[in-house]
Structure 1
């Protein structure tokens, strides 16, 4: 098979598209002929050797990627034969191997891809979608809320905007660039702004007025944009952090959030599963996300690249030049 392998930590150019041996499924596993593989910002950090999160850097060489969708083409010992020939999607957890023509996965992690849902959309929902559902569950978002969504043109951001609009909440979508802001406006946000513009929060305040202050900030950006967004919140507001594309989370001084009357929660990695209530929470969130995509209530935005162009996908993601979930297709 062909796969994308990393032989040394460093720039995107270190990702090599090359021929490698076909993987063999072990006990309780299946092999998937991959049609779509998700690309995550964490993948770029691991590739660079600069990831400081809960996962260890992989042994090299490695095949990156932890989200795949495709068709089961082989069974390992003891695997349920019902899976053979079925379209499936899975999150591989901390085990890499997704940027490949073939990948192995435990049957306990598999979901059948709903009829009518294509593989890139399915792979978007298995990771990005599950995070969205978890953040929404913990946000207690209601129709009376005014939500500010940072990175609103991203994979999670577009889903949050769609959900909030359908719910009847007031929605401010903040994105990095005029083209992205236009995409957010098309999703139905009440206001779409470019957070790279000076005084973007002043634009938001003037649009909302004193009678409709922000009550929740969904934050995937961090840094100064997040600090500015938090200052839009009324006392009692919620700041929910699920990423920091700007390079690091927003930093607040001692007692600063208390003085603002704001609650801030970080929902990253294992914390998301723990905070949603049970060891099975992540799998439940995956199922919810796939069901929402299947019935059309949430439509993932997907930007695809050929598997062989994984380096280009990483460059675009790191430069924040993408919209929606980045997916490699075979």
Structure 2
């Protein structure tokens, strides 16, 4: 089968389009003929050998990727026959192997794809969608909320804007450049602002008037994240799930002293990892199931940017340079 292999940690160009033996499913597993494979910003860090929530592969070469959708074409011993031929989507968990024409995973990880979703959309919801709904567990959004969403043209940002608007909240979406700003506006944000332009914060303040924000969904950190947090009203929440900003302090998470938070009357909380799983009742599949259901019902519509499997290096480069909109997906 054709796949992407990483032979040595390093730049995106180290991702090689290669031919490898077809994988075979073991007991309780299935093999999926992959129609779409998700690409995550975390994949770019793992490609460089950086530490993260998943351990770097102990042995190279490896096939990266942990989100796949497609059709079950082979069953392992003891796997229920009902899965054969079904369109499914799965997060592969600790085991990579998604950037390929075929992928193997435990049947317990599978979700059937709703009829009105294509495989790329399903991949977006199994990863980005579940994370979005996990973040929203901490937001307590209502119709009276005022939400600021940095990186609002990204995969998570797109879904956060939609969810908040579905509730009737006021949403300010921040994005870099006119094209991304236009996408945020089309997605329903009340105000879409280019945070690369000087004076953008003043534009947001003028729009909000005497209202402060009730929540900032921060995945950028740095100067942009700090400016957004400065607009929080008393009682506001700063929810952190990344720090990929391209401001003067690129890649820096925001830090606050207890005294500063108390004086402002706001909270700041990281919402990824164990705390998210605990809030979901200890079962991440709960968020996956809910995410797919929200998309099937049309309440959430993932934005997807497709690359051919052979273009995995270009996809990684685009992610790292903030040249993408929505969820990045590889198509074998």
TM range (shorter): over 0.9
Q: Secondary structure at the match of 1:96?
A: coil
Aligned counterpart, 1:184:
184
- The size of the alignment, in residue pairs, is 326
Q: Does 1:206 align with 2:206?
A: yes
1:250 counterpart (239, 249, 254): 254
Aligned partner of 1:326 in structure 2 is 328
Aligned partner (choices 267, 271, 274) of residue 271 of structure 2 = 267
CA distance in 1, matches of 2:18, 2:273: 30
Deviations 1:149-191 (CA, angstroms, capped at 9, x unpaired): 1100000100111111121100100112221111101111111
Asked if 1:38 is matched to 2:41, the reply is no
Q: Equivalents in 2 of 1:269, 1:199: separation in Å?
A: 35
Structural mapping, 1:91-240, within 5 Å = 91-210=91-210, 212-240=211-239
State the TM-score, normalizing by the size of structure 1. Answer: 0.96
Q: Secondary structure at the match of 1:26?
A: coil
TM-score by length of 2: 0.96
CA contact (8 A) 1:97 1:103 kept: yes
CA RMSD of aligned residues (A): 1.1
- Residue number in structure 1 paired with 2:282: 279
8 A Cα contact 2:135 2:272, kept in partner: no
Give the Cα separation in 1 of the matches to 2:128 and 2:273.
Answer: 12
Contact persistence 1:216–1:238 (CA under 8 A): yes
CA distance in 2: counterparts of 1:92 and 1:213, whole angstroms? 41
**Range with bigger deviation, 2-11 or 136-145:** 136-145
In the alignment, the residues of structure 1 paired with residue 16 and residue 236 of structure 2 have an alpha-carbon distance, to the nearest angstrom, of: 46
Counterpart Cα distance in 2 of 1:88 and 1:270: 26
- Hey, what's the Cα distance between the residues in 2 that align with 1:264 and 1:275? 16
Which residue number corresponds to residue 316 of structure 1? Answer: 318
Unaligned runs of 5+ in 1: none
Measured after TM superposition, the shift of residue 271 of structure 1 is 3.0
Match for residue 298 of structure 1? 300
CA positional deviation for 1:199: 2.4
Runs of 4 or more above 6 Å deviation: none
Cα deviation digits, residues 247-304 of structure 1 (max 9, x gap)? 232233453222221111111233321233x222x10111111111111111100000
CA contact (8 A) 2:176 2:194 kept: yes
Contact 1:227-1:251 at 8 Å conserved across structures:
no
1:48: Cα distance to partner?
1.2
SS in 1 for 2:237: strand
- Between the aligned partners of 1:313 and 1:137, the Cα distance in structure 2 is 30
